[in-house]
Amino acid sequence: TLGSPLNGLLAEFVVLPEEGLVHVPDRLTDIEAATLPCAGVTAWHALIEEGKIKAGDTVVIQGTGGVALFALQFAKLYGATVIVTSSSDEKLNRAKEIGADFGINYKQTPEWDKAVLALTEEHGADHIVDLGGSATLNRSISALRVGGHISMIGGLSGFSVEGFDIIPAIVRKARLQAINVGSRDMFESMNFAIEHSELHPIVDSVYPFEHAVDALQYLTKGSYFGKVVISFNQ
């Protein structure tokens, strides 16, 4: 987890242990490969390693950032039906262009959990990638099928859930799994799958190294779709 809490990679030269490096899928560009270590591995850990996703499953993914779009791509790679939530119809349309089956605008439909239940004929979703945190966890449980799996990854709205209702979690036998990036083995398994598929990471924008601060400021606006990359070659 370079960058949290260790120093990150915003540097021209770094020293790493041999075990800290993996081979990049040959068909990806360096810019595409730069998106993999954190967002890609996190999504892979959530859905493939812990979620044990399979064809025919229904997956709900919150948002359209780096982890969310990798989760969308991996879910489709495994034959799942994907529901994406976002506050932007434009982003939902873009998500559908890369494979999402349904989109829910949570600004227009605050009770998005009920929309998920309607789309699944009241069965609920098999997997939910929860990136919202405090404002979304209760609704994620509400939208879950009995025995379903929730990957708790982000805290975009905060990390402390007030008013957490335990009863729906018990009724649904909810499995809540906290996800913190992943292991080298997971990284290599993900890279093997990418190498043998047509998947390409979604890159929102690329900033030259000398404009790294601008890239970080852009991230704070939350308007990106996919990953923001800082390049030494611009």
The percent of residues in the chain predicted with pLDDT above 90, rounded, is: 75
- Is residue 95's pLDDT more than 70? yes
What does pLDDT average to over the chain?
91
- Is residue 234's pLDDT more than 60? no
Nearest to 67 by CA among 154, 5, 136: 154
In CATH, the architecture of 18-231 is 3-Layer(aba) Sandwich (3.40)
- Is residue 166's pLDDT more than 60? yes
Nearest to 159 by CA among 180, 141, 132: 132
Using pLDDT thresholds of 50, 70 and 90, give the confidence band for residue 84: very high
Residue 160: predicted pLDDT: 61
State how far the Cα of 214 lies from the Cα of 39, in Å rounded to an integer: 20
Give the Cβ contact number of residue 101 at 10 Å.
Answer: 17
Residue 28: predicted pLDDT: 96
Higher per-residue pLDDT: 48 or 220: 48
Q: pTM score, two decimals?
A: 0.92
Least confident of 74-88, 162-176, 203-217: 162-176
pLDDT digits (tens, 9 = 90+) for 107-164: 999 999 999 999 999 999 999 999 987 788 989 999 999 999 999 997 655 566 666 7
Which parts of the chain are beta strand (E)?
Answer: 58-62, 81-86, 102-105, 125-130, 144-152, 175-178, 203-208, 227-231
Residue 204: predicted pLDDT: 96
Mean pLDDT, residues 91-102 taken together: 97
- Is residue 1's pLDDT more than 80? no
Residue 158: predicted pLDDT: 52
